[in-house]
Every structure is written in C-alpha cells, then in structure tokens.
Amino acid sequence: MSPRRVFVRGAGARTALGRTWPESVAALAAGASAVGPIEGFDARGFPCAVAAPVPGATEGATEGDRRLAFALPAAREAWAAAGLTVPPGRLGVFVGAESGRVTFATLVALARAAGGGDTFDHASFLREGPALAAHLAPARLSPASVTSALAAALGARGPVATVSLACASGAAAIAEAARAVRLGECDVALAGGVGADVDALLLAAFGLLGALSARGVSCPFDARRDGFVLGEGAAMVVLSSERGAAIAEIAGTGGSLDAHHLTAPHPGGEGAVRAMTAALRAGGAFTLGGAPSPPVDYVQAHGTSTVANDAVEAAALRRVLGADLERARVSSVKGALGHAIAGAGALGFLCALEAVEHGLVLPTAGLREPDRGCELPHVLGSAETRVVRGALVNAFAFGGANVSLFLRRAA
C-alpha cells in the first residue's frame, strides 16, 4: 500500500492564556504574555522567580496529575472539533510527556520518613513511609499514564505511544502519529504534548544548568535574552487519512540528533539543518538552498530565548531557506507562554496551523530589540495577516534531538 496523506482535522489546547485554543489565539495575536511572578510556591532565592503557569493549577493545590488536567480538556476540544467517528481499533493515541512528579512537600516528607540524614534509615522508612504511598501512585509519575488515560477517554484501541524526548516530545509525538496514519497503522490519531513543569524542583534544576533567564524575561531572538522562562500547558490535534474539512496537511516530518552535547546545540546547527531539510524533502518540496514548493511562508521557531540556541537556529534557517526566508515570517510562542518543555513543540504546531488555516501569523512576545546575530523576518507587537501556503515547525531538545514538521494547505 502506498503511503497515505495525513490531514489535521481538529485542534485543542489548554494554556496559560486560555482554557481553549481560540481563547489562547486571541491573546497571543494581541501580543499578550502569560509570564509573571510565581505564586504557587515561594520562589525567592531561585535563579528565576517568574514563569507562565496555567491558572488554577499551582504546585501544592493538588496531589493529582497536573499533566492530565491540561491534556484531557485539550484532547476533548480537538476531538470535538474533528467530529469524526472511527472504529476503536483504528484510532491511535500519541503523546509527548515526561514523568510526573510529587509535590516538594511530599519529597520533604519522604526524606523525613527515611531518617532525614545523610544515610537511608530503612527501619524508619518502614514505619513512616506507607502513609505517603497515596502520594506516589505510579499513574501520577509514569510518562505513559497520560497517553493511557487519553486513550481510555476516547475509547481508542489502536496503536498507543508515549514520546519522552525533552523539549521535542510534543513535536515528535505528532510526527510519530503522522507516520502511523501514513502507513495505515491507524486511520485516525490523537497526538500532541503536555508540560506541567512549573514547580520548585524543575526551577532549581534548570537554574543549575544556567538555562533560565536571570532577568525573568522570555524574549526569543532579542539582543537582551539571557535564558528561557518555564511555562506549561497542553496542545492536541486529531490527524486523519481522510481530508474532509481539514485544517491543513502534514506534508513532511524530519528528525536528527546533534550527537554533540547534552545541553548545547551543535554550534554549526548541523542537526537542525538535517531535521528541517528532511521535513521539507519528505513533503516533496526541497533541495538545499533551492526554493521549497509550496514555499515556506511561516516558521514557528523553537526560539527558547537562550543565547546559543536562538543564534544557531537563526543561522540554520538561513542555510536551509536561503533568500526565500526574506519572504517568510518567523516567530516563537515561547515569548508569551514560556517553555512548556514536553508540550512546547505541540503548542508551536498549533501556531503553525493557525497560520496555514487562517493566515494569522502570531508575534514573538517580549521581542523588542532583535539581535543582529539573529536577523530574521520577525513578527513584532501583534499578529500579521498574510497568505501562508507552507509552514515549518521546529522543536529542538536537550540531548541534541531535533524535530521539524512541514505543513501546507489541505488541497
């Protein structure tokens, strides 16, 4: 059987700017930013005291799985928008997610139960630990539990996969879903990503890596950028082999590995170039340095607001698109929503969908003084309206994993 085409039939999201994707789009188009002081826990003394959490879901508010609290409404929104009926065995679910976590208070309690010292007190833990078991349910900690819960909610009995690839997880899950639909492993797939990382442990960890903004500003490609700001949320799409009332078509996907450094990108952007090139070639659109057809009119960049990553991505985009880049527009949603880690690539994918379907090109919030080393056709202030025939989505992760997705109008 020859490969089938893959169409996007529905989309949904839960973000720090909206309970639905249309709510979020309206705020993003106006140039709004959800980044603000952390209120869910005392962030004084942390390397960065701001974030973009989903309202009403702060650390300590619940011991439940916050990932599912974001992913389930996003999935239901996407599924309702798609309006499809499919046999359970032909419906797949693919989600980008990382491990869930207990609250900081639970970790402190576990440490005390184990004796609170430098060594593990087994006898003390046997006495005190069982009382904490309810806070350590595997369903709240496993990366796969979100995918399983979404599959159960939709009654899916087809292929199911969880992708845990750091910041590229959501985009990689969409790419895997597109592959499954294209090869006939399923007819319809729910795919996306979720991040719920605005907590004390992740704030401390990314701070130790030197990845967070000391200024507390998310401003991708800006001359003043000094790191990213943590965000969270979920974005889901429904993919189908049937065109129907399609939003767009996934024309190609590409992936690569830098094999260079755990946290730093390859300085020449070799992995990023390979991923973008593969996505465009898979869509039958590209030779390196030539003109894609359909052209790439919009790029939803990875754009983290870190010094090295933004500069490397900008240079890689110039290598891949050449002079055609000048006729496109480039932006990053992380200026408004922060970095949602496992959910970031899926949120970027929805921004590209908006551009292809409605011609709405969202701005990069926080970008005021474009860095001369990141000379790109940026979108500043508020959204632009233009014809977008093709759009490229980038998601680059710690560990050097790179994922690119190429969208075009559903013809």
Instruction: Indicate if 302 belongs to the active site.
Output: yes
Reply yes or no on whether 339 is catalytic. Answer: yes
Q: For residue 360, list its beta bridge partners.
A: 385
CA distance 93 to 81: 16
Among residues 63, 70, 67, the alpha carbon closest in space to that of 18 is found at 70
- Long-range contact pairs involving 126-133 (C-beta distance under 8 Å, separation at least 24): 132/106
Q: Is 260 a catalytic residue?
A: no
Q: Which of 48, 167, 219, 374 is catalytic?
A: 167
Q: How far is CA 181 from CA 174, 188, 354, 408, in A?
A: 11, 7, 22, 17
Question: For residues 175 and 253, is the Cβ–Cβ distance under 8 A?
Answer: yes
Tokens 């059987």 locate to 1
Q: Are 213 and 225 in contact (CB under 8 A)?
A: yes
Catalytic residue among 219, 266, 339, 378: 339
What is the crossing angle of helices 344-358 and 21-29, to 10°? 80
Dist. CA 161–CA 280, nearest whole Å:
25
- The CA–CA distances, whole Å, from 335 to 145, 348, 386 equal 29, 12, 21
Strand blocks (E) in 213-363:
232-240, 248-257, 298-300, 329-331, 360-361
The one catalytic residue in 302, 351, 374, 378 is 302
Cβ–Cβ < 8 Å for 220, 368:
no
Length of the chain: 411
**Cβ(325)–Cβ(378) under 8 Å?**
no
Reference 274, options 394, 399, 179; nearest CA is 394
What residues are labeled active site? 167, 302, 339
